[in-house]
Amino acid sequence: MTSPSADLSGVPDRRVVFSPSGRRGVVQEGTTVLEAARRMGVDLDSVCGGRGICGRCQIEQGSAPGIPQLETALSPPGPTETDYRGRRSLKDGRRLGCAVSIQGDVVIDVPAESQVHRQVVRKRPEVANFPIDPVVRLHYVVVDPPSLVDARSDVERVAWALEVDWGLTGLEFDTQVIQEIHSALTAGDWTCTLAVHDESQVIGVWPGFYDRLLGLAFDVGSTTIAGHLLNLSTGDVMASSGTMNPQIRFGEDLMSRVSHVMMDPEGAHKMTGVVREAMNELAIELVGELGRDTTEILDVTMVGNPIMHHLMLGLDPTPLGGAPFAPVISDSLDLVASRFGLELHPGARLYVLPLVAGHVGADTMGAALSEGPHRRDDLQLLVDVGTNAEIVLGNRSRILAASSPTGPAFEGAQISSGQRASPGAIERVRIDRETLEPRIRVIGSDVWSDEETFERDVSDTGVTGICGSGIIEAVAELFLSGVIAGDGTIVAGTERVVADGRTFSYRLWDDPEILVTQSDVRAIQLAKAALYAGIRLLMDHAGVDAVDEIRLAGAFGSHIDPAYAMVLGLIPDCDLDRVWSAGNAAGSGAIIALLSKSARAEIEDVALRVEKIETATEPRFQEHFVAAMGIPHTEHAFPSLAARIELPAAVEGSGGRGRRRRRTND
Ligand code: FES
């Protein structure tokens, strides 16, 4: 950098360094910090266009080698800052970048909350952060009132201000904005704030300065609907909540809802109505928690499986009920939310993530956006386990997806004592390797059944049944204890194994009696074989025999212990340290899409690149399915798992037919 000099105007140049970007340059003395930032391409936020109203442009003075922190380098507080401090708080050391001018060589620290594209730092270390880059933005403008010499329309003068102050050209105005713009301008003394969607459409107008910008991310599942309310300016998740999907009364699972539509021509219409109503109620609940209003919500994103997607949008879901499962539309959608029954701000937009195919939905694309297989060099397997398992396998160069018909066993259905994951359900199981006696933990309690306080802890709910993660652990533990053979037969002689017709059952709990029956084990084997076969089919297409990392998404994926999932052979062998629970990855994807325009473009590109694999029509799926019935597998070895967990004999090599090699406690 050159030393300060004066140009022909006689105004000296001053050196400026912005931190943390490290951008540096030279500006004329007297330039505001906001102006310097804009010229040097530094992210410094502003909603009011440098009028000292919004407070988004806050900066601090810093120092760097060769540029000491001199008080005289920035102009002293003037009336704009004094006025701002009178209305809103400004932390010690903070200045308004639009109101302070550069007087000497200076280092400017831009705090994270003042950066336009600041990163949202996510809690899980294994996932990527992303920049906040919302599609809807607020812009404050000041216009001249009409006069005899300037009789332009209100829309023309606002469009002109948006172009001059914000560089936005070619804007279109929503009808309701046109209807409200005159009263907004007059009420705001010829100032107003406009919400602009995607730099192209003006979707809202308020008198004067307005900065309440909320967004809502929905994950519409077949059982529950989750909603997350976000501040679109800061990226903060302000409230999250969930509600049961009221469509359940039309059918527990997806296919029964499609059947309902086939039988009742009004069925789809009713299901569309109830899901929209539930989403509206969720929105009211979320804003209510914060004392806000649904009219502050300007942008909404939605993910969901293809059938939920179609029903919410009022599209006919019946083609998704059978081969070839062609969806009505698979592209991402940018819609006006009010036209789809959402009662928010009248100009609010609804962005729906793309589908991959009629059986790989926007929820899977949400999970992919969150977990990012397409952003990495090594091979990631992403599995969302539900009634249908949705599977993505890929890396930067190639990405494949399929869905596999696992059925409802993993959700506790088709299991003799199965139930949903709710208080009282057995969710953890351990079997003593010597005595073959069980101990359990139930949802709602943190203690094991062999601990003193267990009875007291579960006195409210009792032990009511076994949920999906519980049955996985029960079958896996029984296998590891030798009670279940590698082919799934209940074999071992212990008092807890009781005759049950021509087969045996293991008595997991005495009062009430909760059994793991032979048909429970078979139901789990069928479900896990379908999942494994789907995964293996994708691995065949990718030409690989192993994956580098596995992420288990969805409610079930978050609750199952990866080690037990691998013992049972739901997922292929992999280093257990690289098997993660991804939590509600689909919902995280909806949040990311809400906050980031570039993320929307990213997932739209991924959806186009995904190679769809049809499990229903591939003959190899059936072969893989049969081979995957063994525990963990009839043919495939699990060396990484065997290095961590003592598997019954014969499993480490060929799998499937093993008996207990020796008894050990876990
Ligand atoms: S840009 Fe709004 S207060 Fe500075």
Q: What is the 3-state secondary structure of 415-460? A: CCCECCCCCCEEEEEEECCCCCCEEEEECCCCCCCCCCCHHHHCCC
pLDDT at 85: 87
| Cβ neighbours, 10 Å, residue 596 | 22
User: CA 538, CA 535: separation in Å to the nearest integer?
Assistant: 5
Give residue-wise pLDDT tens across range 318-367.
998 887 889 999 999 999 999 999 999 999 999 999 999 888 999 999 99
Asked if pLDDT for residue 2 goes beyond 50, the answer is no
Q: What is the pLDDT of residue 428?
A: 96
pLDDT of residue 410: 83
- Nearest residue (CA) to ligand 1, atom 1: 50
- The atom number, within ligand 1, closest to the CA of 45 reads 1
Q: What is the pLDDT of residue 43?
A: 87
Alpha carbon separation from 593 to 219, 308, 361 (Å, rounded): 12, 18, 15
Mutate to test the pocket of ligand 1, among 81, 96, 139 (most ligand atoms within 8 A of CB): 96
pLDDT for 666: 33
Q: Of ligand 1's atoms, which has the minimum distance to the CA of residue 52?
A: 3
Q: How far is the CA of 276 from the centre of ligand 1 (A)?
A: 38
Q: Which residues contact 119 (CB under 8 A, 6 or more apart)?
A: 112, 129, 130, 131, 132
* pLDDT reading at 657 higher than 70: no
* Residues 22/107, Cβ–Cβ less than 8 Å: no
- Is 590:301 a contact under the CB 8 Å cutoff? yes
| Atom of ligand 1 at shortest range from CA of 50 | 1
350 CA distance to ligand 1 middle (Å)? 29
Q: How far is the CA of 166 from the centre of ligand 1 (A)?
A: 13
Q: Is the peptide bond before 632 cis (omega within 30 degrees of 0)?
A: yes
Instruction: Decide: residue 453, CB within 10 A, 0-12 exposed, 13-18 middle, 19+ buried.
Output: exposed
Read off the pLDDT of residues 428-487 as tens digits, 9 standing for 90 and up.
Answer: 999 999 999 999 999 999 999 999 999 998 888 899 999 989 999 999 999 999 999 999
Provide the β-strand partners of residue 431.
438
pLDDT of residue 654: 40
**32 pLDDT higher than 80:** yes
353: CA distance to ligand 1 center in Å? 34
Residues 551-587: pLDDT tens digits? 999 878 888 899 999 999 999 999 999 998 898 899 9
- Provide the whole-model pTM: 0.88
In the three-class reduction of DSSP (H, G, I as helix; E, B as strand; rest coil), residue 44 is classed as: coil
- pLDDT band of residue 664 (cuts 50, 70, 90) is very low
Distance 38 CA to ligand 1 centre (A): 13
Rounded to the nearest angstrom, the distance between the alpha carbon of 286 and the centre of ligand 1 is 29
* C-beta of residue 59 within 8 angstroms of C-beta of residue 114: yes
Q: Which atom of ligand 1 is nearest to the CA of 99?
A: 4
What is the 304 CA–ligand 1 centroid distance (Å)? 39
Can you give the pLDDT at residue 628? 96
Q: How far is the CA of 49 from the centre of ligand 1 (A)?
A: 6
Spacing, Cα 99 to ligand 1 middle (Å): 8
Given pLDDT bands bounded at 50, 70 and 90, which one contains residue 665? very low
User: Which stretch of 258-267, 374-383, 637-646 has the lowest confidence by average pLDDT?
Assistant: 258-267
Per residue in 208-254, pLDDT tens? 999 999 999 999 988 889 999 999 988 899 999 999 998 887 777 77
Give the pLDDT score at 273.
Answer: 95
Q: Which residue has the tokens 């473009």?
A: 601
Q: Which two tokens stand for residue 184?
A: 């907004």
Which residues make Cβ contacts (< 8 Å) with residue 416, sequence separation at least 6?
515, 516, 517, 519, 520
283-290 mean pLDDT: 96
User: Are 188 and 51 contacting, i.e. CB atoms less than 8 angstroms apart?
Assistant: no
Atom of ligand 1 nearest to the CA of 53: 3
Closest by CA position to 165, among listed 194, 187, 189, 185 = 194
Query: Phi/psi at 331 (nearest 5 deg)?
Result: -65, 160
By most ligand atoms within 8 Å of CB, the mutation choice from 43, 54, 191 for ligand 1 is: 54
Type of residue numbered 626: V
Residue 235 region, left (φ>0) first, then alpha (ψ -120 to 50), else beta? Answer: left
CA of 84 to the centre of ligand 1 (A): 10
pLDDT value, residue 263:
84
Categorize the per-residue pLDDT at 186 as very low, low, confident or very high, splitting at 50, 70 and 90.
very high
Average pLDDT over residues 612-641: 92
Over residues 78-100, mean pLDDT: 91
Q: Which of 42, 48, 209 to mutate to test the pocket of ligand 1 (most atoms within 8 A of CB)?
A: 48
Atom of ligand 1 nearest to the CA of 46: 1
DSSP 136-189: EEEEEEE-PPP-SS----HHHHHHHHHHHHH---S-EE-HHHHHHHHHHHHHTT
Average pLDDT for the chain: 91
Find the 100 Cα to ligand 1 centroid distance in Å.
10
> What local confidence, expressed as pLDDT, does residue 501 receive?
86
The CA 599 to ligand 1 mean position distance, Å, reads 27
Tell me: the pLDDT tens digits for 479-521? 999 999 999 999 877 899 999 888 999 999 999 999 999 999 9
The predicted pLDDT at position 259 comes to 83
**185-199, 352-366, 494-508, 639-653: which has the highest mean pLDDT?**
185-199
Give, for ligand 1, the residue of 33, 98, 113 to mutate: max count of ligand atoms closer than 8 Å to Cβ: 98
| Protein residues whose CB sits closer than 6 Å to any atom of ligand 1 | 34, 46, 48, 50, 52-57, 96-98
Locate the ligand 1 atom nearest the alpha carbon of residue 47 and give its number.
2
Query: 388: pLDDT confidence band, cut at 50, 70 and 90?
Result: confident
Tokens of 215: 């967004």
Q: What is the dihedral of CA 153, 154, 158, 159, to 10 degrees?
A: -40
pLDDT of 395-432, one tens digit each?
999 999 999 888 878 877 789 999 888 899 999 999 99
pLDDT for res 172: 98
Q: If pLDDT is split at 50, 70 and 90, which confidence band does 165 have?
A: very high
- Position in ligand 1 atom list of the atom nearest CA 80: 3
Q: Which residue has its alpha carbon closest to ligand 1 atom 3?
A: 52
